[in-house]
Structure 1
């Protein structure tokens, strides 16, 4: 509404009154001529969009209601009030500036965008809106409402309206909640256009499944090392026991050889060599059986430990 109000009410009838609303380039916006609307004088772009408050005229209120505003209505208007005293004289005149604004609206989804990043990673955030007026201000803020300087702000003007695109780049080391808002100072609006939630992945903040997987991996490595160590110790023990013993292992049992008989001393060399090879084969078989038994026992222990960790 364009305000035009006299300090005192009228002291004469409305049929002696003329009211003109026009632009500085003398385009007629609205007229009131001696009790009648002078629509024939109004410029085409204002016809059907303007009206006076007839019940307020006698009180000295000549304000104009202009509807269906567009950016082309951003102008300075003149309110001219005249009284008929044998001829029309100007009794009141005002200049009124009309500022028309257009709101900026989100052009992206309103739900917060969630990102999961590595600590120290550079992250690019974007924010945009269009069809607003006048030129906006872009604000990036974190959860504590601290302002963050935008890396870049790009403006485009089309048909009198602005489109804005802003970029913010950050090296993220902690979890963040960010928001991008666009301020329209004319309309006194500060609209949140986009929100972001950033989660940082690091060793101290593993998710529960990842932490369990991490623990299980460590346990598996540790137990595997134990298996290798036990196998090595078992082999060393077997070598130690083998030197003083005249026996051999058979299926995990230590077997003693009988003292040589008189007949054995007369055994042909080929037969003795064959019996010697058989003895060595039995010794190796006994060793392998012992090691296999140790490994199976340790693997069984490992399986039970893993089941316990998973249960936890």
Structure 2
């Protein structure tokens, strides 16, 4: 059918000039994508139409995505990659809506598609055609930025920050930003790893000299989705009370408090024992006195 389509198109272009519409749509991996093809000139009976969806690449070995001939789906020449993954909107066909639903899109579907509508009445001619560029994308996870905890006296030493984000598509842009003046910093390392599901993870490091007021941002950009996810690091200083000596003092005071608590519990138990014995003896003496009166 594809060779037949080609000859028909060649013939029709000699007879009439058809404007080619082109659209770009973005779909997320695993979602269903609608490839738009709308003919608004006039209503035509489906029995007089042929609708072909194909890959817009002359070098493609198997270009047929979907075919509708005389009101019926024709799967005889459909590429195996698209088997059971394409659907027309049957309730909209008579209104000139020849859009195609492509199910469960993956990276291999990221192509340019062509919709060709032919009328087969007196002679076969192209009455409409459209191209759709399908771009795929997946959102990256919220970046995780890690950096060291610094002493206030560490100004000037080299510090290393790391930033990671996972499961996005396509490959991202990663930016390191000094938020004190919004200047861009060059990463020390940038590693992008591909996964079996086609998505990517990114890991980047930054080495900079420490300053008294550090504010670092890592930003991961997905251009297709126009998403910019960021994580921020603000300088964290250890307080003077967190020195090794102060830790020792805290440990000593903690042990002293524990010992005092044990002594207090022992004294309390002793008092309870004495009180219990006194109450028991008092009760016994009262009973003896009562018996004597009898």
Q: TM-score range by the shorter chain?
A: 0.5 to 0.7
CA shift digits 1:229-284 (9 cap, x unpaired): xxxxxxxxxxxxxxxxxxxxxxxxxxxxxxxxxxxxxxxxxxxxxxxxxxxxxxxx
**Given that residues 143 and 218 in structure 2 are in contact (C-alpha distance below 8 angstroms), is that contact kept between their aligned partners in structure 1?**
no
Cα separation, partners in 2 of 1:130 and 1:209, compared to 1, 3 Å = closer
Distance in 2 separating the partners of 1:37 and 1:56: 15
Aligned residue-pair number = 205
Task: Tell me what 1:120 maps to.
Answer: 156
2:224 to 178, 186, 194: 186
CA shift digits 1:70-96 (9 cap, x unpaired): 111111111010112144322112222
The answer to whether residue 214 in structure 2 is matched with residue 176 in structure 1 is yes
The answer to whether residue 171 in structure 2 is matched with residue 135 in structure 1 is yes
With normalisation by structure 1, the TM-score equals 0.56
With normalisation by structure 2, the TM-score equals 0.59
Distance in 1 separating the partners of 2:87 and 2:235: 53
**Given that residues 178 and 215 in structure 2 are in contact (C-alpha distance below 8 angstroms), is that contact kept between their aligned partners in structure 1?**
yes
Cα separation, partners in 2 of 1:48 and 1:177, compared to 1, 3 Å = farther
SS at match of 1:32: strand
Long gaps (5+) in structure 2: 1-33, 247-294
Cα separation, partners in 2 of 1:67 and 1:152, compared to 1, 3 Å = farther
- Deviation at 1:131? 4.4
Instruction: Summarize the alignment of residues 291-306 of structure 1 with structure 2, pairs less than 5 Å apart.
Output: none
1:65 to 86, 97, 101: 101
Distance in 2 separating the partners of 1:157 and 1:79: 36
- Deviation at 1:125? 0.6
Cα separation, partners in 2 of 1:144 and 1:64, compared to 1, 3 Å = farther
**Given that residues 191 and 202 in structure 2 are in contact (C-alpha distance below 8 angstroms), is that contact kept between their aligned partners in structure 1?**
yes
Cα separation, partners in 2 of 1:82 and 1:93, compared to 1, 3 Å = same
Distance in 1 separating the partners of 2:148 and 2:234: 5
Long gaps (5+) in structure 1: 214-312
Cα separation, partners in 2 of 1:144 and 1:31, compared to 1, 3 Å = farther
- Deviation at 1:144? 5.6
**Structure (1 or 2) with the greater helix fraction:** 1
The answer to whether residue 186 in structure 2 is matched with residue 150 in structure 1 is yes
Instruction: Summarize the alignment of residues 194-205 of structure 1 with structure 2, pairs less than 5 Å apart.
Output: 194-200=231-237
Distance in 2 separating the partners of 1:157 and 1:83: 49
Distance in 2 separating the partners of 1:8 and 1:153: 56
CA shift digits 1:72-125 (9 cap, x unpaired): 1111111010112144322112222111123322475x8x76623422222111
Distance in 2 separating the partners of 1:146 and 1:46: 48
**Given that residues 176 and 187 in structure 2 are in contact (C-alpha distance below 8 angstroms), is that contact kept between their aligned partners in structure 1?**
no
The structure that has the greater radius of gyration is: 1
Cα separation, partners in 2 of 1:121 and 1:113, compared to 1, 3 Å = closer
Cα separation, partners in 2 of 1:155 and 1:7, compared to 1, 3 Å = farther
1:42 to 54, 78, 101: 78
Instruction: Summarize the alignment of residues 154-303 of structure 1 with structure 2, pairs less than 5 Å apart.
Output: 154-156=190-192, 158=194, 161-192=199-230, 194-200=231-237, 206-207=239-240
Distance in 1 separating the partners of 2:172 and 2:242: 46
Distance in 1 separating the partners of 2:143 and 2:182: 24
1:5 to 27, 38, 54: 38
The answer to whether residue 66 in structure 2 is matched with residue 33 in structure 1 is no
Task: Tell me what 2:88 maps to.
Answer: 52
Greater RCO, 1 or 2 (C-alpha within 8 Å, sep 6+): 2
- Deviation at 1:145? 7.8
Cα separation, partners in 2 of 1:120 and 1:145, compared to 1, 3 Å = closer
The answer to whether residue 112 in structure 2 is matched with residue 76 in structure 1 is yes
